[in-house]
Chain A
Amino acid sequence: DAMVIQNPRYQVTQFGKPVTLSCSQTLNHNVMYWYQQKSSQAPKLLFHYYDKDFNNEADTPDNFQSRRPNTSFCFLDIRSPGLGDAAMYLCATSRDLVAETQYFGPGTRLLVL
C-alpha cells in the first residue's frame, strides 16, 4: 500500500547524459514536491507543483526541470547531469500547501559517472 512511489530506486547516468526520475502517488494530493538530499544533509527543495501550477525555488539550477502530466505523476528531468548532482532525490506530496504534512517517497539515489 505504498502511497508515494519513486522509480527507479537507483539510477546511474553518465556526465552530461539527460536523465529522468519519476514519482507517482495514490493519495490524490494536490501538491507534489521534488527535493535533493546530499549525504549527511537535510533535504533541499527544488520545486513544487500545486495542481498544474509550477513553483521553482530561486536557487534551483536551470539544469533541473519538472513535468506533471496529471495528478498522480511527476517527473524530474536533469538535462545535463554533473558530478555535483549525485544525490538522493526525494519526491513528496501534500494535500495542500499550508500547514499540511508532506509524505515522502523512498527516494532515488542518482550516481553520475
Chain B
Amino acid sequence: GESVGLHLPTLSVQEGDNSIINCAYSNSASDYFIWYKQESGKGPQFIIDIRSNMDKRQGQRVTVLLNKTVKHLSLQIAATQPGDSAVYFCAENMNYGGSQGNLIFGKGTKLSVKP
C-alpha cells in the first residue's frame, strides 16, 4: 500500500545544533505535505507545510524541503532548543480517489535535545 514513512525513529542533538528530520513518501500523486510537532500528552501542532509546486519553504527556525524526484521530505530546525523536544510527524494529504482529505501520517521521529 501507499504510505508515508520516516528514516529515523529517534534523533538526539545538542542544544544549539541544527536538526534534520527525514521522511519518505511513496505516493507521487500527493500534492500537499505537513509537518506536525507533538509533545507528550498533547495534540499534534502544525509546524509548516509545503505544496508540491514548491521545493523549499521557510518558517521561523524551520525549513521544509521537498524532493519530488526521490519522494523525500525533510524538516530542518535551526539552533535546536530544549523546547523542540517532541515527536515529529510528516503527513501527506491525499487528494485522489475516495480518500480526499485523508492525512496519512508517517511513523514519527522522536527528537531529544541535550542541554
- The range of chain B's interface size is 20 to 34
| Interface flag for B72 (CB, 8 Å) | no
Q: Which of B12-20, B39-47, B62-70, B77-85 contacts A (4 or more CB under 8 A)?
A: B39-47
Contact B105–A94 (Cβ < 8 Å): no
Size of the A side of the interface (Cβ < 8 Å), in residues, is 28
A97's nearest neighbour on chain B, judged by CB, is: B101
Query: Counting chain B CB atoms within 10 Å of each CB, which of A4, A41, A102 scores highest?
Result: A102
Contact B51–A99 (Cβ < 8 Å): yes
Contact B34–A42 (Cβ < 8 Å): no
Contact A97–B103 (Cβ < 8 Å): no
| Interface flag for B102 (CB, 8 Å) | yes
Chain A residues with Cβ below 8 Å from B34 are 101-102
Specify which of A6, A57, A103, A109 is in contact with B41 (CB 8 Å cutoff).
A109
| Interface flag for B95 (CB, 8 Å) | yes
